[in-house]
Chains A and B, each alone.
Chain A
Amino acid sequence: MGRPPTFITTPILALTAGLVAGSSQAADLVWARYGDIDSLDPHRATSTLSMQVWDQIYETLLAFDGEGKPQPHIAKSWVVSDDGLDYTFELQEGVLCHDSTPFDANDVKFTVDRAFDESNPSLTKTSWGPISAVEVVDDLTVKFTFESKFGPFLPFLADSFSSMVCDSNDPETFGSSTGIGAGPFKLVEWVKGDTVSLAKNPDYTNYGRPFDNKGPVNVDGLIVKTVPEAQTRLAGLTTGEIHIAEPPFDDIPAIKESGELEIMVAENTGQNVFWEFAISRPPFDDIRARQAVAYATDPELAIDIIYGGLSQREWCPIARGVFGNDQEFCAQYGYPYDPEKAKALLAELGYSTDNPLETTMFVWTGGNRHKLAEIFQNQLSQVGIKVAIEIMDIGTMNARVKEQNETTDETPGTFDMMTWSWYDPDILYALWHSPGAYSGYNTPELDVMLEETRTTIDPEARLEKVQAVIKHLMENAVHVGLYTPGWEWVFAVRPEVSGLKIGAFLHPMFNDVTIKE
């Protein structure tokens, strides 16, 4: 018979080569996560999954230091006017976008104008503050003008949501298949649901990021893979196909003991997982129903079962390490686990275990949250709330929550285990000042209180304002803190990888990473 004819072998080789072609080179770092980015466009998504990749591709004007304080980066200095309404920034010279065009004040104006574009504004437009104009003074100088004072502006310029987008981006493909920035990595390809392939940016200079490496990264590339199954990620970590990933929570004690992989737990994540409710219609338009849910669930037990000691109970609507967080203060207004109280409240509304309140809980994918949801579902059923669980990716959940708040039909209102991570209590403004990030709860009284948190600059006075907001949110059971951290904060790292740093507010950065042979 002899060898099989080439018309058989060639396609087979091509097929198998095609399978392997997507794989990485020897000096690429492979990072596996439970989900994919929603978009390459920093104005069209809000998920941590998306943001962590933007960190690699785009730069921000400022950068957070190790403690989460903003410091100069691409913006090497700035001047604030006496009335606090004008910020003038001087940019570093010689910064290049990935396509070798210069990164200068024009790109800054382009980014901000784009975020404020009336027909298609950025999803995080509010977080920029009340900017009325951006002016290109000269190539290296840009001036922001505000309508009113905005305290959180400088920290925002260090946050990924203010990622600077180069003006040479092609509007047709930007966000879905291209993304040109000035960051340590450049985009090679995004295979949806599978991989984001990044290659080292050889022109990169690290001006202000808190890393030892002041130049281009050491690795040749970064491959960010989507691997939803925790066991598969662990398997990849064991064989060496994956360098960094979140391991299955159940296996963490064993991994720590065996010492095969290093376990890194992020600190200062600024993350907060909380209950929020669709207030537009029954049942959650009534405060008693909301409080019943809060009393009926025991977050401490749940996170203890699922995360061991890796996560903690969080009473406040903002996370530990963020200005305004104070466990004792918040616990006064919080809802400890008390099923009897929950039952009593439900009885007032006419519900009991024989006649349960039926509703749906939204939860987002990953991190064993489906198991957490099952525990809550079980606890709620015991007081007479019958909950169907719907799990979806974070991008979809954001949209569904908004939809639920805007619906006024007859279907029962839903509630969700929502999550946000932010470095400043200004997140409360973004969430709850009308119209609200999700068109949810808002009142004129709360609006005024929130505005005051923005315009008050003196820290002590601001703390009072922030606490007033917290008290209002908690007493009304609108934003009920559950636990922190909540997602992607645990990393298993292969022994040959060193130099991984997890920046404040959960920004894994790879500038110092080296892979030993």
Chain B
Amino acid sequence: MIRYIIQRVLAALVTIWITTIAVTLLIHAVPGDPVRIMYAKFQSTPEQIEAVRIALGLDQPIYIQYGLYVSRLFQGDLGRSIVGDQPVLDILLTRFPPTLLLATTSLVIAVVIGLSLGFLAAYKRGTVIDVGAMVLAVLGVSIPHFWLGLLLLFFFALQLGWLPVAGSDLRSLILPALTLGLANAAVLARLTRSAMIDIFDQDFVRTARAKGLPKTMVLYRHALRAGLVPIVSMMGLQFAYMMGGAIVVENVFAWNGVGRLAIEAVFARDYPLIQGFILFFATVIVLVSLVIDLLYAVLDPRIRYS
């Protein structure tokens, strides 16, 4: 188990390291002169643009640039945003928590609804309930989540007036979290269903039932525990999807997270901010996946005792 932990932590660190490289290279993939593009807004003189180029280290060879980037990183300097000239780190630290909140809440909703639905479908396999649940799930997977968001906005906020259209408080969290959660609940429902069916078919379940254990005990203690394993292993991926989906959903509900920030940055060609955003985003996902993987190790006896 220790070996597993060390392996996973190392893998995570390597991933983050490669991310820093990729992010440094990003600015070079831009056709044309990135500094001119970035600073176009300020109508700077050629001398000023050169000064910026030197300050960003873009006149140096790539490996020195990378070194500069990493050393600044360790000092907490992610550069400054082009628009408004604020430190990228500060901007990200302010705008990331709302997105995290949205992603986490949506994940909870998706897990609760998806797992229950999938479990139910597997339990009542072959019946109308199963078919009905899976039809819902397939629909849920097909609906664009921004459209679902607009529909929910239309019904609950505009027509019925039950919930706010936008805002930053907890009440305004409900609709975006529901939107993202429902869309992913469908995915989880399908996954859970097939995972559970596999479990139910397995020997140990039949053995437990043969031993005379009542149906409910069998389900809750053995099957669920076993079923959780592959599902937990998917959680890292699901969290990543949530974070990705939040980017679009935030836009529908004017939720003030990092998703809206990223879109604006792309429009504005704010490369320092985009670089910082990608680094932050990838790091968050890697760290969360790491935690989940370690949790998975705790749950899966095969790993625990290896």
Interchain CB contact (< 8 A) of B268 among A16, A231, A236, A393: A393
- A316 to B168 Cα, complex, angstroms: 44
Q: Which of B40, B98, B157, B165 touches A403 (beta carbons < 8 Å)?
A: B40
Contact, CB under 8 Å: B94 / A44: no
CB-based nearest B residue for A46: B43
Q: Could you tell me if B83 and A192 are in contact, using CB atoms closer than 8 angstroms?
A: yes
Q: Are A193 and B267 in contact (CB under 8 A)?
A: no
With A177-B86, A193-B84: A392-B254 Cβ-Cβ less than 8 Å: no
Count of B residues near A, CB < 8 Å? 30
B101: chain A residues at CB < 8 Å are 15-16, 19
Determine the chain A residues whose CB is within 8 A of the CB of B94 once the complex forms. 191
The answer on a CB contact under 8 Å between A399 and B84 is: no
A:169-188 near B, CB below 8 Å: 175-177
Of the candidates B41, B43, B165, which one forms a contact with A235 in the assembled complex, judged by CB atoms under 8 Å apart? B165
A123-B43, A399-B42 known; A19 vs B268 contact (CB < 8 Å): no
Q: List A contacts of B168 (CB < 8 A).
A: 19-20, 22-23
CB distance B165 to A38 under 8 Å? no
Which A384-401 residues have a C-beta within 8 angstroms of B? 392-393, 395-396, 398-400
Task: Tell me the nearest residue of chain A to B84, going by C-beta.
Answer: A192
B78 to chain A, nearest CB (A): 14
Q: Mark B65-103, 1 if CB is under 8 A from A, else 0.
A: 000000000000000010111100001001001101100
Q: Mark A402-420, 1 if CB is under 8 A from B, else 0.
A: 1100000000000000000
* Contact of A117 with B by CB under 8 A: no
- In the docked arrangement, what's the CA distance between A19 and B265, Å? 22
Q: Which residue of A has the minimal Cβ distance to B81?
A: A192
Instruction: List residues 168-195 of chain B with CB under 8 A from any CB of chain A.
Output: 168-170
Q: Is B167 an interface residue (CB 8 A)?
A: yes
With A and B bound together, what is the CA distance between A231 and B251 in angstroms? 13
B267 touches A231 (CB 8 A): no
Interface size class of A (residues with CB under 8 A): 35 or more
Counting CB contacts under 8 A, is A39 at the interface? yes
Q: Which residues of B contact A403 (CB under 8 A)?
A: 40
Chain B residues with Cβ below 8 Å from A16 are 101, 170
Indicate if A190 sits at the interface (CB-CB under 8 A). Answer: yes
Within 8 A of A (CB), among B203-218: none
Report A-chain residues with C-beta under 8 Å of the C-beta of B164: 235, 239
Whether, in the assembled complex, A326 has its beta carbon less than 8 Å from a beta carbon of chain B, the answer is no
Query: Quick check: A235 and B166 within 8 Å, CB to CB?
Result: yes
Q: Roughly how many angstroms separate A175 CA and B254 CA in the complex, as a whole number?
A: 27
A464 located at the interface, meaning its Cβ lies under 8 Å from any Cβ of chain B in the complex: no
Are A15 and B41 in touch, CB under 8 angstroms? no
Interface pair A232/B86, CB less than 8 Å apart: no
**Contact residue among B86, B98, B170 (Cβ-Cβ distance under 8 Å from A176):** B86
> Does A138 make an interface contact (CB < 8 A)?
no
Q: Say whether B264 faces chain A, with CB atoms less than 8 Å apart.
A: yes
Residue A36 at the B interface, CB < 8 A? yes
For residue B133, which residues in chain A have a CB less than 8 angstroms away from its CB? none
Which 6 residue pairs of A and B lie closest in terms of their CB atoms, listed nearest first?
Answer: A235-B165, A192-B84, A176-B85, A399-B40, A232-B166, A232-B254
What are 22 A-B contacts defined by CB distance under 8 Å?
Answer: A16-B101, A16-B170, A18-B97, A19-B101, A19-B169, A38-B41, A39-B84, A123-B43, A175-B85, A176-B84, A177-B86, A193-B84, A229-B254, A231-B165, A232-B166, A235-B165, A235-B166, A392-B267, A398-B43, A399-B42, A399-B43, A403-B40
Which residues of B are interface residues toward A (Cβ below 8 A)? Answer: 40-43, 48, 81, 83-86, 91, 94, 97-98, 100-101, 157, 164-170, 254, 256, 261, 264, 267-268
With A19-B101, A39-B85 given, name 9 new contacts (CB 8 A): A18-B97, A19-B97, A19-B98, A123-B43, A192-B84, A227-B166, A235-B165, A399-B40, A399-B43
